[in-house]
């Protein structure tokens, strides 16, 4: 059972955890939908407009690890102050005593890596964080389009899992990464 632990915006609000799997992505790539599909529960709020997640949300996954939902990046409708506050919150989170085992970076398979995605990828590399790219929304592409997009957008990427939150396709591929980076046996989440 996955249960909500807390929401936080500041370092002193982050819970003490041992192992964290973090979900990041641009606003409107289906991050909340993917989290909900992956855990078969309605954990993250799915809004009709992008940019609804404003807090860092922590979820206990069966006492095995903590799933962390961070606000989407690249959302243009933030004030300058909100953007500065967001950047500080994210930097405080990612640079604290590191319990992060894996970052699942969710992108839109129809678009590939945007400049914001490339910046996030570099940020993860600069901070020596393990990551996998979850190319979401494959259900919106034909097989031919998906194959073309794989070559065009993700050819140089090593760790990419092609998924559909909406159709619950290939979620097991992401679960395998989670098990690997949380040292869980294959039968566990």
CATH of domain 2-181: 3.40.50.300
Q: In whole angstroms, what is the distance from residue 114 CA to residue 51 CA? A: 17
Enter the tokens of residue 140.
């919106």
Where in the chain are the domains?
Answer: 2-181
The position carrying tokens 């409708």 is 77
Predicted TM-score (pTM) of the model is 0.90
Give 72-115 pLDDT, tens digit per residue.
887 656 677 877 888 889 889 998 877 999 999 999 999 989 99
Position 135 pLDDT exceeds 70: yes
Give 6-42 pLDDT, tens digit per residue.
999 898 999 999 999 999 999 888 888 999 999 987 7
How far apart are the two ends of the chain, measured CA to CA in Å? 10
Q: In whole angstroms, what is the distance from residue 103 CA to residue 68 CA? A: 9
Query: In this structure, are strands 20-25 and 100-108 parallel, antiparallel, or unpaired?
Result: parallel
């Amino acid at each position: 059972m996955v249960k909500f632990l807390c929401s936080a915006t500041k370092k002193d609000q982050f819970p003490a955890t041992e192992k964290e799997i973090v979900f990041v992505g641009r606003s409107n790539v289906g991050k909340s939908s993917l989290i909900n599909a992956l855990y078969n529960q309605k954990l993250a709020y799915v809004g009709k407009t992008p940019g609804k997640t404003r807090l860092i949300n922590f979820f206990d996954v069966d006492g095995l690890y903590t799933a962390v939902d961070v606000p989407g990046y690249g959302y243009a409708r933030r004030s300058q102050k909100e953007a500065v506050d967001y950047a500080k919150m994210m930097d405080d989170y990612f640079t604290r005593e590191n319990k992060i085992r894996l970052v699942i970076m969710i992108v839109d398979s129809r678009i590939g890596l945007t400049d914001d995605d490339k910046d996030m990828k570099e940020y993860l590399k600069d901070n020596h964080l393990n990551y996998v790219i979850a190319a979401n929304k494959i259900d919106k592409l034909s097989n031919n389009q998906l194959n073309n997009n794989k070559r065009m957008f993700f050819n140089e990427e090593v760790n990419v899992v092609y998924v559909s939150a909406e159709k619950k396709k290939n979620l097991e591929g992401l679960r395998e990464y989670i098990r690997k980076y949380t040292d869980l046996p294959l039968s566990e989440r």
